Amino acid sequence: MCGIVGIITKKQVPICSSLVQKLKLLEYRGYDSSGLAFLNKKNIKVCKSKGEIKNLEQKISAKDMGNIGIAHTRWATHGKPSVLNAHPFLSDDKNWAIVHNGIVENYLELKSSLANVNFCSQTDSEVIAKLLQTNAPHILALIDVCNKIKGSFAIVAINKLDNNTLFVAKRKSPIYVMQSSDEVIVASDTICFENTGKDYYTLLDDEFCEVSLDKIIFYDKTGKVIKKSKTLLKKSQNKFSKDNLPHFMLKEILEEKVAIKNIIDYCQNNGLKKINKSLVRKIKQIIFIGCGSAYHAGLIGAKLIERYAKIPSTCHIASEFRYAETDIKPGTVFVFISQSGETADTLANLELAKGFITIGVTNNMHSTLSRAVSICLDIMAGKEIAVASTKAYLAQVLMLYVLSRHLQNLKFNTKVDYLSHVLDLLNVFEDIDFKKLDDIAKFVANKSEVIFIGRDLDYYLALEASLKLKEVSYIPSFAVPSGELKHGYLAQVDNRTCVVGITTQKNLHSKTLSNVSEAHSRGGNIVVCSPFDIEQKYLKIDVPNIDNDLICLLVAQRLQYLAYRVSVIKGFNPDKPRNLAKSVTVE
Ligand code: G6P
């Protein structure tokens, strides 16, 4: 999390505004405070603010001209969100200013090594600035500090004695450098390079660089100069406007149809070609890894692969799997799911997967994940700005569905025309009664707790629906397999509770309905999400009956919209939920 950017321009410009414009593109990485530093008449000037970047924007002055600066948007880990804890931080002699993304695990130890130094924040990051005790503007100073750090970092620093250099360091947190004829930009996401340049450099772990307008010099951690090559910036269709809609989350739910079409095109254009017969022959089992919504998509993927391709598959939460000491058998293929491709917990498992075939499923083909895996599948959902994932989750599920059918065809030499199912789905995708969902959202919004229940794939949808609702509406919520409801969870049900039963599979319908009625008998308020008939006493979210597993996507779309509406009804901003960031680059 945390977004960082550094800029050097050829001419003097209103540098604070330039930094803030870039920072806004990174706001999805955290928005509890922000700050910037720039060189002004040979001194470093700092401006910081609590809350969203618009608060910082109000504090800066357009009159402040400059040609070099750094900026940061924060998602708090050490120290609460406040102006004092916002970056940048200054060295003791005020010669250096730094912004940092990552975690300094040994910051207490490092702090105690600095006698007579005053710290003004509760953060781990400030120690990096305070360790910069030489005023000489040279990368070796930063390399020396970074070699003392345990943990992860992407750092950009400026020094007041050099108005033409950004000093950059990287370990386990992404950072990229782009140079054009009249500016250089260093940023934690290539999104900052769009409309600016055509290619960029990617720093790898324990690499450093000195960036100026006319040259970029890369170093390893011993200070030796190294050579690096550039990557072409993929042309993006990204538009950062809400298209006259009130929120990005709504816009992105409405863009799901386009995401589905993109995946159809991807398959028709041989996007899965690297997953071929010779690969399939080697697969003995598949292990899916992800966090949050990506984990929920993986649960569906594992189930579908077992169902269609008959390959034993399991899905694991990334932060758990890495410490599980699982015995990984030969013939295991790992599938890493991550819309950002930068989630630290997910990436940490790449270490365990060394020597095995790895497949990435991501929405960011410029990411660390896409570079690290053997095969990368691009879900092509287009940039997601709202922090809670909607279209990217849906595209992940669809990609895993087509993967399962593709593996089935390869393994059993069949020609299942699965894309025709996806095309059928498109025909009904917009048959959605928003008005009715708005009414149900009003009903849900005043409940004290919402419990989602379902069996098999419906349970995995329940997990995602519950996550989405609590992420954006803050209503306490959990999901439980329908059959487990009676094993303790019914204790939670009373007349302030809402129970949402998801039932899309004919053979399990009556079972889930029995569980729904157990909750109803105990005073629970019932909503059922189903393509099948139900008793009139329950509120119903209708789903077209498409008679195949892709019905998952129709349920997901409806329950995302429900969460969105509940958030808006309760007066929250669904695009920027509290305590959440889109790309979680710390463990
Ligand atoms: C955060 C985001 C979620 C996302 C999860 C995993 O929690 O807020 O929307 O599902 O991280 O992110 P990834 O980029 O790995 O899919």
pLDDT tens-place string over residues 383-403: 898 999 999 999 999 999 999
The CB of 291 under 6 Å from ligand 1? The reply is yes
Whose tokens are 């660089």? That residue is 209
Query: According to the model, what pLDDT value does residue 239 have?
Result: 66
pLDDT, one tens digit per residue, over 277-318 is 999 999 999 999 999 999 999 999 999 999 999 999 999 999
At residue 241 the predicted structure's pLDDT band, cuts being 50, 70 and 90, is confident
Read off the pLDDT of each residue in 478-506 and give the average, rounded to a whole number: 95
**Where in 75-121 does DSSP place strands (E)?**
89-90, 96-104
pLDDT the model gives residue 567: 98
Mean pLDDT of 480-502: 94
Residue, of 396 and 580, whose pLDDT is higher? 396
Q: Which of 392-396, 504-508, 546-550, 572-576 has the lowest mean pLDDT?
A: 546-550
Residue nearest to atom 10 of ligand 1 (CA): 293
pLDDT band at 61 (very low <50, low <70, confident <90, very high): confident
Distance (Å) from CA 170 to ligand 1 centroid: 22
CATH code assigned to 434-569 = 3.40.50.10490
Ligand 1: centre distance to CA 388 (Å): 8
Secondary structure of residue 129 in the 3-state scheme? helix
Q: Is the CB of 344 under 6 A from ligand 1?
A: no
Question: What is the distance in A from the centroid of ligand 1 to the CA of 241?
Answer: 22
Q: Give yes or no for residue 436 having a pLDDT over 90.
A: yes
* Residue 85 in this model has a pLDDT that exceeds 70: yes
Catalytic residue among 50, 172, 303, 582: 582
DSSP letter, residue 72: E
Q: Considering only CA atoms, which residue is closest to atom 15 of ligand 1?
A: 338
Q: 154 with 102: CB under 8 angstroms? A: yes
**With 80 as the cut, is the pLDDT of residue 30 above it?**
no
Please state, in angstroms and rounded to a whole number, the distance separating the CA atoms of residues 40 and 65.
7
Per-residue pLDDT band at 41 (split at 50, 70, 90) = confident
Closest atom of ligand 1 to 387 CA is 8
* Residue 261 CA to ligand 1 centre (angstroms): 23
CATH topology of domain 248-423: Rossmann fold (3.40.50)
- The fraction of the chain above a pLDDT of 90, given in percent, is 83
Q: What residue ranges do the domains of the chain occupy?
A: 3-232, 248-423, 434-569
Instruction: Look up 146 and say whether it is catalytic.
Output: no
2 is a catalytic site residue? yes
pLDDT in tens, 403-418: 999 999 999 999 999 9
The pLDDT of residue 326 is: 85
Q: From the CB of 388, is ligand 1 less than 6 Å away?
A: yes
pLDDT at position 210: 97
* pLDDT at 249 (0 to 100): 97
* Any ligand 1 atom below 6 A from CB of 319: no
Mean pLDDT of the chain: 93
Residue 338 beta carbon below 6 angstroms from any ligand 1 atom: yes
Residue 62: predicted pLDDT? 79
Pairing mode of beta strands 96-104, 89-90: antiparallel
Closest protein CA for atom 5 of ligand 1: 292
Cβ(343) – ligand 1 distance below 6 Å: yes
Residue 512 · residue 501 · CB < 8 Å? yes
**What is the Rg, in whole angstroms, of the alpha carbon atoms belonging to the chain?**
25
Task: Give 328's DSSP letter.
Answer: P
Binned at pLDDT 50, 70 and 90, residue 75 comes out as confident
Q: Tell me: pLDDT of 234 over 80.
A: no
Ligand 1 atom nearest to 581, measured from its CA? 8
Cβ atoms of 203 and 175 closer than 8 Å: yes
Q: Which residue has the higher pLDDT, 81 or 422?
A: 422
What does the pLDDT read at residue 222?
96
Q: Measured between alpha carbons, how far apart are the two ends of the chain, in Å?
A: 10
Residue 29 predicted with pLDDT over 80: no
Alpha carbon distance 58, 434 (integer Å):
37
For the chain, the residue count is 587
Q: Please give the Cα distance from 447 to 242 (Å, whole number).
A: 30
pLDDT score at 237 = 58
Equal CATH topology for 248-423 and 434-569: yes
User: Which has the higher per-residue pLDDT, 384 or 30?
Assistant: 384
Q: Which atom of ligand 1 is nearest to the CA of 389?
A: 9
Place of tokens 């498109």: 426
Identify the pLDDT of residue 260: 96
Q: Is 541 close to ligand 1, i.e. is its CB under 6 Å away?
A: no
Q: How far is the CA of 23 from the centre of ligand 1 (A)?
A: 20
**pLDDT at res. 238:** 61
Sheet with 449-454: list strands edge to edge: 477-481, 449-454, 497-502, 525-530, 539-542
Mean pLDDT over residues 495-520, rounded? 95
Q: Specify the ligand 1 atom closest to the Cα of 290.
A: 15
197 pLDDT band, cuts 50/70/90, is confident
Angle at 382 between CA 316 and CA 421, to 5 degrees: 70
Per residue in 520-567, pLDDT (tens digit) is 999 999 999 999 999 889 999 999 999 789 999 999 999 999 999 999
Block residue for tokens 């977004």: 3
Average pLDDT (159-170) is 95
Q: Which of 340, 345, 385 to mutate to test the pocket of ligand 1 (most atoms within 8 A of CB)?
A: 340
Residue labelled with tokens 């340049």: 197
pLDDT at residue 79 in the model: 82
Domain covering 3-232, topology: Glutamine Phosphoribosylpyrophosphate, subunit 1, domain 1 (3.60.20)
